[in-house]
Amino acid sequence: MITLTNTYSIQQVAELTGLTVHTLRYYERIDLIPHIERDDNGYRHYSDGDIGRIRFLCCLIRTKMPLDQVRRYAELYAYGAESDEERFEILNAHRAEILRQIDALTDTLARVDYKLAKLHPQHEPESVRETV
Amino acid sequence: MITLTNTYSIQQVAELTGLTVHTLRYYERIDLIPHIERDDNGYRHYSDGDIGRIRFLCCLIRTKMPLDQVRRYAELYAYGAESDEERFEILNAHRAEILRQIDALTDTLARVDYKLAKLHPQHEPESVRETV
DNA sequence: TATTGACTTCGAGTCGACTCGAAAGCGTAC
DNA sequence: GTACGCTTTCGAGTCGACTCGAAGTCAATA
């Protein structure tokens, strides 16, 4: 029999996403990840779709969206097109937050570079060395 | 008598830095901020130099340098030029971290924009609306 | 059959970073 | 002289986000 959809154990998903198995279960427990299919033993079988969704949620989390909001966003998947408006609002608000963070980082980068130059004036900028 | 150096109450510094008075005291307690001058009542008097230093430390904190490391960096001010090498290393490591964060944010921004476009294809990019 | 290793749940513990509140000191304003 | 508003210390509490461990199930292997 040819399986058209791959499935993955929790361990494999941990490797694929960079999360720990503990964190994956925790995220599911707090309804941040929708219910994952189980086999006869109760073992989780993640689909490719699950992994895609988890990866996107990880992007939101890594960029500091609070888990509450991620949960709300994840919950809306279940409501389909009806929930488009609210999902748009959530992502759009987070977009603004991302821009703020980039601003803060860019500003701090400049300040750090200034200090680095004062500490080791003879050095080339690190960005040059890094790209070599 | 003309005062050549301004001083500020903790409240004023809170307003100038965006921190709360509680947080300012907390930072001093954990040696993240060096000892601040006191008057006869034991009240803190922050100098312009203090404010400059606090502002820079806030930049590091906002860009996710752990307080432990910020404390180490702040501690090194006391050692003068002797500590230049270590301060350079700390800032240079954080510089790399900043670049990683910018990468993550840029990547997520692209994904979010992609989703936003799918949710509301008729909208112009938000960046255009924001700059109007 | 016994061990190994991957999986399960659930409650409790940890950790970083604040955040708060009680009790008290000081200086001006009425 | 007392009320107000600012300050102080210090210990304890909170909060978000994990992180861990105990106790148990299951399948495959020695």
pLDDT in tens, A106-117: 999 999 999 999
Question: pTM here?
Answer: 0.89
pLDDT 10s digits, B111-132 = 999 999 999 876 555 444 443 3
- Is B95:A112 a contact under the CB 8 Å cutoff? yes
Closest among B71, B63, B59 to B27, alpha carbons compared? B71
Query: How many residues can be counted in chain B?
Result: 132
Instruction: Please tell me the predicted confidence (pLDDT) of residue A1.
Output: 47
Decide: A89 and B120 in contact? Cβ < 8 Å.
no
Protein-proximal nucleotides of chain C (any atom < 7 Å from a CB): 6-10, 16-21, 25-27
Q: Give the model confidence (pLDDT) of B48-70 as tens digits.
A: 999 999 999 999 999 999 999 99
Predicted confidence at residue B129, as pLDDT, reads 44
CB of B67 lies under 7 Å from some atom of strand D: no
Residue A112 and residue B94: Cβ atoms within 8 Å?
A: yes
Mean pLDDT of the A8-27 span: 97
Does A115 reach chain B within 8 Å, measured CB to CB?
Answer: yes
Residue B2 or residue B58, greater confidence: B58
Q: How confident is the model at residue A130 (pLDDT cuts 50, 70, 90)?
A: very low
- Average pLDDT of span A49-57: 97
CA angle (A35 as vertex; A34, A38 as ends), nearest 5: 150
pLDDT of residue B1: 47
Q: Residues 82-111, chain A: which have Cβ within 8 Å of B?
A: 84, 87-88, 91-92, 94-96, 98-99, 101-102, 104-109, 111
pLDDT for B122:
67
Tell me, what's the pLDDT at B132? 36
- State the nearest Cα–Cα gap between B116 and chain A, in angstroms: 6
Percent of chain B, pLDDT > 70? 89
Range with the poorest average pLDDT among A38-42, A94-98, A112-116, A117-121: A117-121
Which pLDDT tens digit goes with each residue over B6-47?
Answer: 899 999 999 999 999 999 999 999 999 999 999 999 999 999
CB-CB contact of A59 with B111 (8 Å): yes
Contact A59 B106 (CB under 8 A): no
Q: For residue B130, what are its two tokens? A: 């924001």
Measured to protein CB atoms, the chain D nucleotides within 7 Å are 6-10, 16-21, 25-27
Task: Provide the pLDDT for residue B115.
Answer: 97
Å: A21 CA to C2 C1': 28
Find the mean pLDDT for residues A1-30: 90
| CA gap A83, A90 in Å, rounded | 11
State the nearest residue by CA to the C1' of D10.
B29
